[in-house]
Chains A and B, each alone.
Chain A
Amino acid sequence: MKRSLIGALCVMAVAGGTFAQAPKKPAPKAPAQVAPVEAAEAKDAATLEFEKFRAEMEESNPAELFEMKGEEQWKTRRGPKNVSLAESCDLGQGVGKVEGAYVRMPRYFADADAVMDAERRIVWCMVEKQGFKFADIAARPFANENFTPDITNLVTYVAGHSRNMKIAVPLDDPKVREAWEIGKEIAAYRAGPYDFSCNTCHGSDNKRIRMQNLPNISTPRGALMGVQGWPGYRMTGGVMLTHQWRMGDCFRQQRFPQPKYASDAVADLLTYMIGNANGQVYKGPGIKR
């Protein structure tokens, strides 16, 4: 099964022609790549201190408060159509099933004819099933110091039900594969006043900004670092933020126009990054400095 999958990916790589290198999906390779990076990191005292700090904070992560709110909102009948997401929303594992749904997205949803990450899918459910207006959700999609949108609670709740599960984005689905390839292109797209791309910071190893190590999202381990901890509780300001928010913020830092909320572009980028982290363990909603 696995062998035939790898075969299929190689064929696609040749047929696509735009690949700089063969897709790095085969799982058996991952551990070999992980070890040396870890050894190099062990020497960095600052990184160790940060990890100690994070471990301490992870024990009592305020993200759990948002999970609780999200659970209530998931199960409550809401919106103009007065239905709950628990009885109407299919995250790819069956209607209302949240267990393991987060680590298996982005995925292709035939009913929406789109590849969707968790947040985009939940928004779709809120609009299609509950009757909320997309424009209302998209007007204030992310949390600030005085306000946390429902969607953030819901994403945190769903993500909490994939704790300690293996990331398994269905990259063998041709639609998802296509999104992965577009995401890869977006990550490499240089533009703006600084002639920046995502890859300027996140396309090679051993880069950092001030004390922050920057993960190389083209590698399995680097991609995992970009996925781990989202959605995350940011201690600065005490706000709960989602992976969608993080993508938008990367564009802001590049001085790009912000991508539209819950758009194809963000879903593609997330497919690329989360897909690259396939096979590794997701620890659930995180905490950020």
Chain B
Amino acid sequence: MIRKFLLIFNLIVVSASSADAAEKLIYGVFWEGCEHGCEGFIEAIKVSGFPARVIVRDAEQNKLKLPGFIEEARRMKADLMLTYGTSVTLGIAGRLENTGDKQFITEMPLVFMYVSDPFGSGIARSFEKSGRNNVTGTFNRVPEAVNIRTIQTIKPDFKHLGMIYNGNENNSVIKVKEMSELSHEMGFLLTALKVDPDSVGVPDPQLIPERVRELAKAGVDFIYLGSSSFLRLNADVFTSAAVESGLPILSPYEEVVRESEALVSIAARAKDVGRVAADQVLRILRDGATPGELPIARVTEFAYVVNMAVARKLNTFPPIDILQVAETLD
């Protein structure tokens, strides 16, 4: 009798602890594939030794796929959702006013990354608290004023900023608005052109060079890429057109400098962003924190990356005092 009792007791205990020891499921939704940030996140989770499995879902720049992911995540009883990019986050978590709306993930913990302006886009309230119980995230952009000052130190006679933006991406539009306000504050002109004014969906990349020429004609000194996955994906077309028109580009995405022909970027290392996001996730899953109580984690280390080949082509170089800390690529 006692032996049976002990056996059943043991089974219960073992199954209970193995349930605890069971892996957590992290459901990650990415706008276009798993790139460096995603890789950095996965690696950081692995390095931490915390038992978790990461599922990667690719939205392929299509907002319509998002509700399907929500459903799948709920079905799989994921422990946490990771959203990459403003569009994905808006689609999965909704805005602040959508709290409680069953259409979105409102109870499962959610960590966002690569949202260029969480506040302007209505995803979070402030750096201290997201404003929603289940939502927290990371912030990895330098303040726009830093970007402008960078441009000013590279081109001391800078007066006119140019931007092209994707009407299809919320973050892109918000960024333009932000830059417009900043232009009044910091005293420069802003010319911002929509890539494809006629389309509501993904714009036609062929139109990019045309827009760039228009910016050049408008007398722009420097181009700022702003916030747009579309532009990032079409970096080659964008940047080579700019170089042809003799316009330098400042990009918030490092790979556009590294792999294409943007002149300069001040950005967080993608791997660092992934790591910071992983830290947030661990705080929730491992340490038991409530997402709503966590502050938005900020990346503190940025790299100033310069493409010297482009600099030579444009005869525009970063100032001598920054060269000591800049990462230069030939």
A binds B: no
Instruction: Give me the interface of A with B, judged by CB distance under 8 Å.
Output: none
